[in-house]
Each structure stands twice: as structure tokens, then as C-alpha cells.
Copies of this chain bind each other. A is one copy, B any other.
Amino acid sequence: MQKNNELSGVKEIARRANVSIATVDRVIHNRTGVSAKTKEKIEAIIKEMDYKPNLLARSLASRKVFRFAVLIPRESAETEYWKAPLEGINRAWTEIRMYGIEVVFFHYELNDRQTFNNEANKILKDSFHGILLAPSFISEALEFFYKCEAKKIKCVFINSDISNVSPLSYIGPDLFQSGKLAGNLSKYLIPDGGNILIFNVSRELGAEHHLLKKATGFKSYFEENKSSSTVNMLTVHRTDYDSVMAELAAYLKDNTVDLLFVTNSRVSTVAKYFEANNITNIKLIGYDYLTRNIEYLEKGIIDFLICQKPIEQGYKGLLTLYDYFVESEKIDKVQLMPIDILTKENYKYYKN
């Protein structure tokens, strides 16, 4: 390593400063017990040498163990979405486990807020340095977040954010802009003046809910561009196929719709309905690279899928905790994901 010039490492610093490497070590980690003048001297040398510690040797020598908890929804039969972040988290873990990282997983059910509390309490009873969580239930997540803050536990949010709260980092989409892009895409699918329906399929949908942020962004596109299209919104609070089908059918009986925007990954449910009933004159935009969605994208029933790198969200989420604790790096408060457009032509090359 660096076999070139031997002027690297703490040893060299120590040599130049006429001190022992222990003293150098002390000022590097600014521990106490170093006189002001030697500290200054060493710091000057460090700066002059542009010394960069060898992270390998560092974490080899400092046998620290950090414990992180992961709190995200369980992958459900209805949507495989959460498989992706989990995959990213595991990928990150395999990369950093040798640096002394322990990870414990906790999963809650997306249609049962009580399970969130249960798992959250388990986490609080145990002892973790950091937590990676998807705050799907806002008030519950908020309460949990405050408890973590009190215990000096750092949190990273993925997938959706909570306003007025400042975790170590938020990693996920700009929901508003994501919806706005969907609005923009609809321009390419139907002429101006059409009838558009925003369709939410979600058990929970409070005022601050992230699906509504997408809907708001979507609408804003039409307002900003002074479009003459009509944009309505419909929400179904049951997520099974029959319920969705029934509500949608009822709506379509009374209303003309040229384009349908599904605000989450449940778009395949709508597509299935379209296919079963031979509905081909309604354009369809939805979310997420899931096998079922891709299937309908391939068939041409779904026109566009918007995707926000769920795997990378999980990957970066865990790495962010690692960077903070092990590398003690400064962390970006917000790490927005790209807003990717998937079509029949390019999805094969997409990487979550």
C-alpha cells in the first residue's frame, strides 16, 4: 500500500512532530491530555501533510460494534414493493458488516397501525445506535421519533417524510415533484381538455399522507400550465381487488375518464381490471417497478411507470447510518431520489 513515499500515516506525523504516535492519536481524536502547543504543532503537520487516516486500519483496530434497527413494512401479498428497500438494506449490510455493524429487522403491517407501535416498542426496549424507518403512519412515527430523540438514538427516514421534524436524513422521493412529473407525462398521452382521475388505493390516508402530496403535485401541473383538463380524485380505502374494482366500476359508470393516475404501486390492480373488462381507451400512469406492473407495462395497458429507486433507498439508508457513526461524516439532511420514467422500451435496463 502506498509503497511510494513513506511519508504517510500517524507514524510519520509523530516523527515530524517529535512525539509518539499516541500523542498524535490524541489530537486526531481530539482527546484530552495534550498541551496546547504540541496540539497546534501536530494539527499543523496534519494539515500540511493532508493526512487521511487509513479507514481499513482504523476500523480493524477499533473493535467497535454499532447496532442498527430497521423498521419497515412487511412485504405483503398485495404489493411486493417493500421487498426492494429490504434488498437494498441487505446489500448495504453485506458490504459493511465487516466493519462491526449489527442490524436487526422489525416489520409492521401496512394495514394495521398497531403493529407499528408494537415493533417500535420492541426497538425502544432494546438498545440501538441508529434506526432506519419508513414512517408510514405519521402520528405513530412522530411519537416514536420523539422517544428516539430523547434517548439520543438517530433516525433515518426512507420512502416518505414527515414535516416539521428533522431526522438524521430523509432518503426518498420529492413526492410533490413526482406527482407533477406524472402530470407532465399525461400531456404526452392525451390532448388537453381531457378528463383525468387521480386514484388513491390506500387503507390509511391522513391529511399529511404521502399519496396526497403526489396528488397535489399532479394537480399543480395542470394549474401551472393553465390546462383545461378536468382533474378529479377518488380514494378507495380497501386494497383488495374486489373492492377496488367495485369502486372504480361505479365511478366509471357515471364519469368519462381519459387518463387515470394511480398514486402508488397498486396500479396493477387497476390494470388487471382494465384488462379483464377490455378497457383500452383509458391511459394509465402509476408507480413502481414491480413484476406485476411491468407485466402490464409490457402489454401496453400501463403507459408509464414512475419509479424512485426503492432498492437504493434502502441501501443508502443503512449506509447513511454507517457513514454517520463509523466514518463520522456530515450527513445530508435530505437525499432526494431521481424520478425515473419507465416505458415499455426502457424498463428492461432499469435498476432499482
Contact = CB atoms under 8 A, between A and B. Distances in A.
Nearest to A3: B65
Nearest to A336: B349
Contact of A174 (B64, B339, B349): B349
Interface size class of A (residues with CB under 8 A): 35 or more
A11 interface: no
Interface in A295-338: 336-338
Interface string A188-201: 11000000000000
Contacts of A150: none
A349 B175 CA distance: 12
Nearest to A63: B1
Given A341-B346, A351-B338, A60 B1 contact: yes
A3 B184 contact: no
A185 B344 CA distance: 11
Interface of A: 1-3, 52, 54-57, 59-60, 63-65, 98-100, 174, 177, 180-181, 183-185, 188-189, 221, 336-341, 343-346, 348-351
22 contacts: A1-B59, A1-B100, A2-B100, A54-B60, A56-B57, A56-B59, A56-B98, A174-B349, A181-B345, A181-B346, A183-B345, A184-B343, A185-B343, A188-B189, A336-B349, A337-B349, A338-B349, A338-B350, A338-B351, A340-B340, A341-B343, A341-B346
